[in-house]
Amino acid sequence: SNGNGNDNDNDNDNGNSRTTSRSRFRLGYVTDVEGNIDYFLKFVQHSHVLTIQYWDTKTLILALKEEAYFVYGGDAVDKGPGDIRLVHALVALKRRYPHRVYLLVGNRDLNKLRFVAELSQEDLTRPLPDIPPPHWDPTAPSLLEYLTHKQQQQGDNSNINNTNIDIQTLNTRTNRLQYMLTHTLGCPQTFEFRREELGILLNNDEDEDEDDDEDGTNNFIDDETVVDSFLEEIQIGGSLYEYLSLADVAIVIGTTLFCHGAVDRHTMGFVPKLDTKFENPTSKPKAGRSFISSTSRSNGDSDAVSEWTEALNEYLKIGLNDYNQRPNWNANRTSRGGEALLALQNRAAMWGRSIVSNCYGDGGCITTSYATEVRKERQLDDDTDDNDDDDNNNGVDDPLLFENTSSDPMDTDVSQWLLQNGIHRVVVGHKPTGDSPAVLSADYTGVEIVSADTSFS
């Protein structure tokens, strides 16, 4: 899904194809709104490309100004009571202006593909000791440890021996989802945010004055309804599923490349294998496809970056189709559909090559001396590019070494490859860098880097 300022567009605002002149080209971008719909509405009010066509607290309809483009940079959900409404609005906008609106996948969007398998009735019968903690976070508790702690808390609150509380009675979809959100997805408030949003969406306007809850709704939303909502939204017909089906991993518009995470020496030109597992690999997996051989080209009209982004976007579509075919575990619980997409957004599973989750600003600032020292100490910059099926690990022998590290936005090997392929700017989100985007001037490498996550998380 590559675009440029001269694309013909058959959008529904007037039904006419037209060519956007360079002099009138304008593009709007925002990323990592994460369900904070009030924040998004403020953005639209200040936007030069989007307008609010309709808003009544339940439904948001957006319009795109003529000859304008809009890119949403990923991470649409989790940190506010507006997940469903925001994603519905973005999906509708993309469908209305398919050639001028682009949606990118973020880690918070892709990782919800876990829900169907991990909240299934079959998984509820699995022995709790067999369920490991998240492979990418050695400090996180396992589900058994989480439920044991909950068992102790309930015993203390009831002034009874906690051993009288059968831990299996706590092994519910609700508790599993709350465990996942809190300890594996980094969003402990999301369950209650969803309850709040469902209260708004299911509220009967004509009954507003009857027994309103504190949030202004008159519907008590029980836990099971909340769990059902999370599952519905990530299956066909659900807002988040529809978002993923219309989204891209990376796009090129003009001379600018957009992705959620980072283009660095590990991610550039790399496309994973379609059978990549969502786990810590024991050694560096080989690439499914690699486009970094184009660094040897000296001409400026190479299409390697465009071919690379198209391959990544095809990877997304194949992975989503796999998820549709088999969203649950296989009989041996060794595989599930869409696992390659869960791996794509996970640094450890990608051996540090996640274009979705690698990050220039992991720590709040880019190009710090500390970040450089960490990369050097962990020998990350020595890790061999995955070229010509090279599976040499070099200095890196543990995929967890890539966690909590910052990509180098001043890497000249990366900028040379981008420039040779006509890219002069990279725009990303993923981790916040302050109240305004952090911009690395093109004076350093010839490529401007814009790290534009200004969210509160």
Q: Express each pLDDT in 212-244 by its tens digit.
A: 555 544 468 999 999 999 999 999 999 999 999
Q: Answer yes or no: do 384 and 357 share one domain.
A: yes
Q: Answer yes or no: do 291 and 160 share one domain.
A: no
Distance CA 150, CA 172 (A): 12
Of 182, 208, 233, the residue that ends a domain is: 233
Mean pLDDT on 398-421: 93
Strand, helix or coil at 438? strand
* DSSP classification of residue 237: T
Res 314: pLDDT: 98
pLDDT band at 339 (very low <50, low <70, confident <90, very high): very high
Q: What is the CA radius of gyration of the chain?
A: 23
Mean pLDDT on 84-102: 98
Res 147: pLDDT: 97
Q: Answer yes or no: do 286 and 412 share one domain.
A: yes
34 domain-assigned: no
pLDDT band at 387 (very low <50, low <70, confident <90, very high): very low
Q: How many CB atoms lie within 10 A of CB 419?
A: 17
Under 8 Å between Cβ of 49 and 11: no
Q: Answer yes or no: do 308 and 190 share one domain.
A: no
Q: Is the pLDDT of residue 294 over 80?
A: no
Tell me the three-class secondary structure of 41-82, residue by residue.
Answer: HHHHHHCCCEEEEEECCCCEEEEECCCEEEEECCCCCCCCCC
Higher pLDDT, 285 or 15: 285
Distance CA 28, CA 372 (A): 32
Res 388: pLDDT: 43
Report the DSSP beta bridge partners of residue 250: 259
Q: Give the phi and the psi of residue 63 in degrees, each rounded to 5.
A: -130, 150
Distance CA 419, CA 294 (A): 11
Mean pLDDT on 362-384: 78
Q: Is the pLDDT of residue 196 over 70?
A: yes
Residue 299 CB burial class (10 angstroms; 0-12, 13-18, ≥19): exposed
What is the domain count for the chain? 2
What's the number of CA atoms in the CB half-sphere (13 Å) around residue 161?
A: 2
Q: Answer yes or no: do 272 and 228 share one domain.
A: no
Q: Is the pLDDT of residue 7 over 70?
A: no
Q: What is the value of pTM for the model shown? A: 0.89
Higher pLDDT, 437 or 249: 249
Q: Answer yes or no: do 171 and 284 share one domain.
A: no
Mean pLDDT on 370-385: 79
Q: Answer yes or no: do 319 and 421 share one domain.
A: yes
Under 8 Å between Cβ of 430 and 260: yes
Q: Answer yes or no: do 203 and 296 share one domain.
A: no
User: What one-letter code names the amino acid at 299?
Assistant: N
Q: Is the pLDDT of residue 1 over 70?
A: no
Of 198, 233, 268, the residue that ends a domain is: 233
Res 385: pLDDT: 54
24 domain-assigned: no
What's the number of CA atoms in the CB half-sphere (13 Å) around residue 54?
A: 7
130: domain range?
114-233
Q: Is the pLDDT of residue 437 over 70?
A: yes
Q: Answer yes or no: do 456 and 315 share one domain.
A: yes
Q: Is the pLDDT of residue 17 over 70?
A: no
Enter the tokens of residue 439: 């911009």
40 domain-assigned: no
Q: Is the pLDDT of residue 389 over 90?
A: no
Of 233, 268, 302, the residue that ends a domain is: 233
Q: Answer yes or no: do 201 and 347 share one domain.
A: no
Q: Give the phi and the psi of residue 91 in degrees, each rounded to 5.
A: -65, -45
Mean pLDDT on 188-213: 80
pLDDT band at 445 (very low <50, low <70, confident <90, very high): very high
Res 24: pLDDT: 78
Res 56: pLDDT: 96
pLDDT > 90 fraction of the chain, expressed in percent and rounded: 71
Cα-based distances in Å from 235 to 34, 114, 168, 245, 403: 19, 11, 28, 11, 30
337 domain-assigned: yes
Distance CA 359, CA 187 (A): 19
Q: Answer yes or no: do 418 and 288 share one domain.
A: yes
Q: Answer yes or no: do 279 and 227 share one domain.
A: no
